[in-house]
Structure 1
Amino acid sequence: MSTLTSREFNQETGRAKKEALSGPVFITDRGKPSHVLLSYDEYKAVTEKRVTIGEMLSMDGVEDIEFSPSKVTDIAEAAEF
């Protein structure tokens, strides 16, 4: 992970691209993160379609999985103001 100012990014695009191969590069404007540069492979991994819980529960063999959740003992209470 590295951080570049927007000025550094504009002046050193090659460096930013090289650093993005080993992790995200955060680009800042006025000291605050404004953009993130990722390699294409990392971008694909982040945006890939994820499996929903419904799809997981309908998979073959799911009935063979043992699942015994513990009893919930925490009870929500109204906040006092």
Structure 2
Amino acid sequence: MKVISSRDFNQDVSSAKRLARLEPVFVTDRGKPTHVLMSIAAFRQLTGATESVVDLLAMPGATGSDLDPPAAESWDRRADLR
């Protein structure tokens, strides 16, 4: 487990992210732990969570083509307001 100050974290976030890939990183504020930075894989293992729709859409190369709004002729929003 690595421990870094919030000042060091703010000055070099990239380094903290690299460390968090290997093990949790505790961030301290005035010497007291306030946050934990960990990889998403470690978080999922800890919580038992699986990939969500948001995770899948955020993947490189993912397209939202399946989520495009319907064509204007298939749904008229103004008709619902009448």
Superposition TM-score tier, normalisation by shorter sequence:
0.5 to 0.7
Aligned counterparts of 1:44 and 1:11: Cα–Cα separation in 2: 27
RMSD across aligned positions (CA)? 1.0
TM-score (norm 1): 0.58
Q: Share of identical aligned residues, percent?
A: 47
Instruction: For residue 5 of structure 1, report the CA deviation from its aligned partner.
Output: 0.3
Runs of 4+ in structure 1 displaced over 4 angstroms?
Answer: none
Aligned counterparts of 1:27 and 1:19: Cα–Cα separation in 2: 12
Residue ranges of structure 2 left out of the alignment (5+ in a row) = 50-82
1:6 and 2:9 matched: no
Residue ranges of structure 1 left out of the alignment (5+ in a row) = 50-81
Aligned counterparts of 1:40 and 1:11: Cα–Cα separation in 2: 22
Structure with a larger share of its residues in helix: 2
Larger radius of gyration: 1
TM-score (norm 2): 0.58
